[in-house]
Structure 1
């Protein structure tokens, strides 16, 4: 192999290692058997959530994973491997790939990294069941608002009761 080819491969390994290190989540999947339309739809769904999907040779993946400190991930790099990388949402790649695999049986999740830890399929499935980050934040906000809302209704009810009692006391007594 020429020095130029070695340099190109070394650069690619560095790029993929950077992707591993700068991502909060990376999910490895086998996408063999997906139609072109299915692959395009998957990429669109991932892109909408800020996730990139890359198909990378296993030798490069092995070297990049070792360089990034994820050598225990190397056992999933068998057969064609596509990796969904997310720099912001740790749940998005797992959720999207899992949901997509329900309709596209050819898609098989092999393993991955979630929240910068190598995880097994069961953990990926648990993360995939979580709602999106935006939905979780909305639910959290609703939980914070609930006690305040209840307190406001209680204050309003007490105020209305006092007003009705004062109104009854001010009314002339019937003879």
Structure 2
């Protein structure tokens, strides 16, 4: 790889580390091309990305980013998964690692905090931002819909009483 190509890769990775919300560092030794392609497709569909990295270039790219503490994790056949959503990349990588022993989660980082493999798996268990937003909207809407039901109930009861009275008077005449 030429020096200019290395500089370009370092700049690209530095941009990734500067903009992303979470990084998962993995070892992929033994994965076939088909398996990596399958993993990339799953990750891409979740709004994340998966990239095989050269360790020295990745370590240089980490300098000056919130993910600088990840540098010691880059040893051996390393690939990274990253996303802006803090749960997207860890969720897909963890699911894939459960089914395929060849992919090992080494660690990761979230907002400048170094995570071990167990913490990455715990992060994968959390609901995504979209799920949390949906739950919050549901919680906010629930009291309003209950209030509407309570306010409508007395009017419905009055209408039923008047209808029963009208039926009683109409049936006796």
The TM tier, using the shorter chain, reads: 0.7 to 0.9
Q: SS at 1:113's partner residue?
A: strand
What residue in structure 2 maps to residue 85 of structure 1? 82
Q: Does 1:120 align with 2:116?
A: yes
Q: Does 1:67 align with 2:47?
A: no
Q: Does 1:17 align with 2:17?
A: no
Once the two structures are TM-superposed, the CA of residue 168 in structure 1 deviates from its matched residue by 4.5
Unpaired runs of 5+ residues, structure 1, are: none
Q: Does 1:42 align with 2:39?
A: yes
CA distance, structure 1, for counterparts of residue 9 and residue 131 of structure 2: 36
Once the two structures are TM-superposed, the CA of residue 69 in structure 1 deviates from its matched residue by 4.4
Once the two structures are TM-superposed, the CA of residue 116 in structure 1 deviates from its matched residue by 4.4
CA distance, structure 1, for counterparts of residue 158 and residue 66 of structure 2: 67
Unpaired runs of 5+ residues, structure 2, are: none
Tell whether the 8 Å contact from 2:66 to 2:112 is kept in structure 1 after alignment: no
What residue in structure 2 maps to residue 165 of structure 1? 161
Change (3 A) 1:67 1:12: farther
Tell whether the 8 Å contact from 1:28 to 1:84 is kept in structure 2 after alignment: yes
CA distance, structure 1, for counterparts of residue 101 and residue 67 of structure 2: 28
Greater Cα shift, 147-156 or 56-65? 147-156
Greater Cα shift, 114-123 or 38-47? 114-123
Greater Cα shift, 35-44 or 68-77? 68-77
Change (3 A) 1:159 1:104: same
Question: Structure 1, residues 54-93: CA drift from partner, whole Å, max 9, x if none?
Answer: 111111111111232433211211111101121x312100
Q: SS at 2:2's partner residue?
A: helix
What residue in structure 2 maps to residue 97 of structure 1? 93
Tell whether the 8 Å contact from 1:111 to 1:121 is kept in structure 2 after alignment: yes
State the TM-score, normalizing by the size of structure 2.
Answer: 0.86
